[in-house]
Amino acid sequence: MRPEILYSLFKPLTSLPGIGTRNAKLVARIVGGEHVVDLLWHLPSGLIDRSFQPEIKDAPAGRVATLSIKVDRHVPAPNRRLPYKVLCSDHTGTAELVFFHARPEWLEQVLPVGEERVVSGKVEHYRGVVQITHPDHIGPLEDRESLAGIEPVYPLTQGLSPKTLNRAMAAALDTLPDVAEWLDSAHLAREGWTPWRAALRAVHRPAGQHDIDALAAPRRRLAYDELLANQLAMALVRAHMRRQGGRVTASDGTARTRAEAALPFTLTAGQNQALSEILADMSSDRRMLRLLQGDVGSGKTVVAALAMLEAVGAGRQAAVMAPTEILARQHFAAITPVFEAAGAKVALLTGRNKGAPRRRLLEDLAAGRIDALVGTHALIQDDVAFADLALVVVDEQHRFGVAQRLQIAAKGRSTDVLVMTATPIPRTLTLMAYGDLDISRLTEKPAGRKPIDTRTLPLTRLDEVLDGVGRAIGSGPDGGRRVFWVCPLVAESEALDLAAAEERFGALERRFPGRVGLVHGRMKGPEKDAAMAGFAEGRTAILVATTVIEVGVDIPEATVMVIEHAERFGLAQLHQLRGRIGRGAEASTCLLLYGGGMTATARERLKILRETEDGFRIAEEDLRLRGAGEILGTRQSGLPAFRIADIAAHGDLMETARDDAALILEKDGGLTSARGEALRVLLYLFERDAAVAYARSG
């Protein structure tokens, strides 16, 4: 139950003056919600200074001015194309107020002849006459003092006027409840922060440009509140999962040892460390909730496979859930030989399994005849039942919602959960997206991998690139190296002027007949599989692709990556694409082809990529260049979208919030103290209602 003190903030937007049903839809579109509190999280993006109050003769062109005037005469427009003018004056001169497509009766009402008014807007000089076109404000003289100050400017949408939004915002600020302080008093004093209500008013009523800056004290206070709500909610969920207890999963190690002996390489120190952390979690009576974070090609899949064999060796089952069919099949192909070496059975389940074969697979799974199941979100369907599921591996968690992670875990009893991501993300973002998990990191590449030679070239040198590709693939049907050729779009787009995948495929096929394959997101599954198989088996030497190959495709023979219009891709995405090569013992080359008119940011992205292959450094740079939402794709269901906090600006606050949340739950797990009660209000304020239920009672 939401506390009564917050009721006024969760009223509908239509409870505010000037916000009817039509306007409520427009406001909801820009603020991301339908309640008063959603409007309050909509912060100013700029401000207008209306404090300049010159006399008419001293009003300079190009400045916003607030003038006190007497209305002298209305000059209606002779036709609709010409403006309606209102002539006015003060003791120093005359001015014109100009209106296009105005209603004369309304103008006569707000600007009656002979009356004094205060008007505010941007001054223009036209043929020596001072003019204000469509003044922002018109009112009686007594408005002058309230008007002549700093006015916040909010992001708007078509059909919504600043006046309407400002009026609604003023009413919303008047309803702010006086909540009990949820922050530690020593922390508040150290940061010099005001109480919540004062901080929220300060960001909406700025005294100057510094007040709307992300680093201003009121904004930092509000950002910290949001980050603390996020971290506290995750800590409560984590504590709840832990309290459910785990089951000890420990084998005699035979299956694992057999599989490891059959590997064509030895595990790196990082892989051994991560595996020992995972096995320690599995053998404890606490439930495992762990993130295995590793750069592209760092060998996460083999670590996961060995952990799965620990479950199988203990007489139980394991599952892997991947976000796409290509990735699920890739995992299946990688895990199968490891399982075969250990004498264990692994199966694949995707949306493509139909009819009798699917029924037989599900019967075998429920009877325990299948040791491990690899698949897409088809795994969470109701009719998928395991005999005894011990371990769930969720790959690329940010493509799934947390709810889906819990759904697959619910297929077993006290199931251990291992989340994997090949998207290196900075520590602050790891806390934001995966704050409920313990973290293992793989930071080194497997032995024998050579550095990738990354070069940038203008698209004008395309002929040289094609000559180089010809030399790389050799002349024989199976000889030479293999080449990924990445295009940003599937079909021609004049607007973006990008080389389309289908067009590039046609051009390459004419030059290298019979040796080029094509894969893109609009193809049906079997077509995609056939194209990938043709490339993997060497029947084609060049694979033209869109970014469907970004994650998980593992073809050691591919040693050349060409990315067209590399300046249009994000840094992390370029790093992911580059990670598809350099997976064998051969030296590899990545060519980043760029078009004309590159932005400074795009140039910097390509420079960073040339300098380093360290995914974690690249992720930090990406955060600096693009911000958190772009890196994680906050539209994805698995991530919280922050309304006030900006991770690039407030990363230090995230670290503090995590420590604060841990300390709070250590001292007061049930949130029953005075501060605990206030923190419950904070959780409800930021709509983390579900987490409140996880607070221990007493």
Q: What is the pLDDT of residues 499-554, one digit of tens each?
A: 467 888 999 999 999 999 998 777 787 888 888 888 888 899 999 987 666 455 67
What is the distance between the alpha carbons of residues 64 and 689, in angstroms, rounded to a whole number? Answer: 45
pLDDT of residue 698: 35
Average pLDDT over residues 268-295: 91
- The listed CATH number (2.60.40.1150, 3.40.50.150, 3.90.420.10, 3.40.50.300) that belongs to domain 452-632: 3.40.50.300
Q: What is the pLDDT of residues 204-213, one digit of tens each?
A: 999 888 888 9
Q: In the chain, list all ranges with CATH 3.40.50.300.
A: 254-442, 452-632
Instruction: Supply the mean pLDDT for the chain.
Output: 87
Q: Are 306 and 275 in contact (CB under 8 A)?
A: yes
Mean pLDDT within 226-247 = 85
Spatial distance between the Cα atoms of 386 and 318, rounded to a whole number of angstroms: 9
pLDDT of residue 395: 87
Q: Please give the sequence-ordered ranges of beta strands (E in DSSP) within 408-557, or none if there are none.
A: 416-421, 438-442, 452-458, 482-486, 516-519, 542-545
pTM: 0.68
Query: How are strands ordered across the β-sheet holding 452-458?
Result: 452-458, 588-594, 558-563, 482-486, 542-545, 516-519
Is 163's pLDDT higher than 80?
yes
DSSP character string of 243-278: HT--------SHHHHHHHHHSSSPPPHHHHHHHHHH
Pick the CATH number of 51-148 from 3.40.50.720, 2.40.50.140, 3.40.50.850, 3.40.50.300: 2.40.50.140
| Eight-state DSSP code of residue 288 | P
Q: Judging by DSSP bridges, how do beta strands 416-421 and 389-395 pair with one another? A: parallel
Helical H segments across 485-524, by residue range? 501-511
How far is 674 from 304, CA to CA, in rounded Å?
Answer: 44
Please classify residue 21 by burial: count the beta carbons closer than 10 Å to its beta carbon, then call 0-12 exposed, 13-18 middle and 19+ buried: exposed
Task: Identify which of 260-269, 389-398, 445-454 has the greatest average pLDDT.
Answer: 260-269
Query: CATH 2.40.50.140 spans which residues of the chain?
Result: 51-148
Query: Which amino acid would we find at residue 599?
Result: T
**Residue 676, pLDDT above cutoff 80:** yes
Q: How far apart are CA 192 and CA 26, in angstroms?
A: 37
What integer pLDDT is reported at residue 660 of this predicted model?
A: 95
* Amino acid, single-letter form, for residue 140: P
Q: Residue 448: left if φ>0, alpha if ψ -120 to 50, beta else—which one? A: left
Tokens of 278: 């995972």
Query: Kind of pairing, strands 84-90 and 64-75?
Result: antiparallel
* Topology, domain 254-442: Rossmann fold (3.40.50)
Give the count of beta carbons closer than 10 Å to the beta carbon of residue 537.
11
- DSSP-assigned letters across all residues of 537-577: TTS-SEEEE-GGGSSS---TTEEEEEETTGGGS-HHHHHHH
Q: What is the mean pLDDT of residues 254-279?
A: 93
DSSP 500: B
Question: Residue 634 above 70 pLDDT?
Answer: no
Statement: residue 114 has pLDDT above 90: yes
Share of the chain above pLDDT 70, in %: 91
Burial of 49 (0-12, 13-18, 19+ CB in 10 A): middle
More confident residue, 315 or 234: 315
**What tokens appear for 478 in the block?**
């199976």
Which letter, b or e, does each residue of 257-289 get, where b requires 16 or more Cβ atoms within 10 Å of its Cβ?
Answer: ebbbeeeeeebbebbeebbebbbebbeeebbbb
Per-residue pLDDT averaged across 123-127, rounded? 94
Task: Evaluate if residue 347 carries a pLDDT over 90.
Answer: yes
Query: In this structure, what DSSP letter does residue 366 have?
Result: H
**686 has pLDDT over 90:** yes
Percentages helix, strand, coil for the chain (3-state, rounded to 5) are: 45, 20, 35
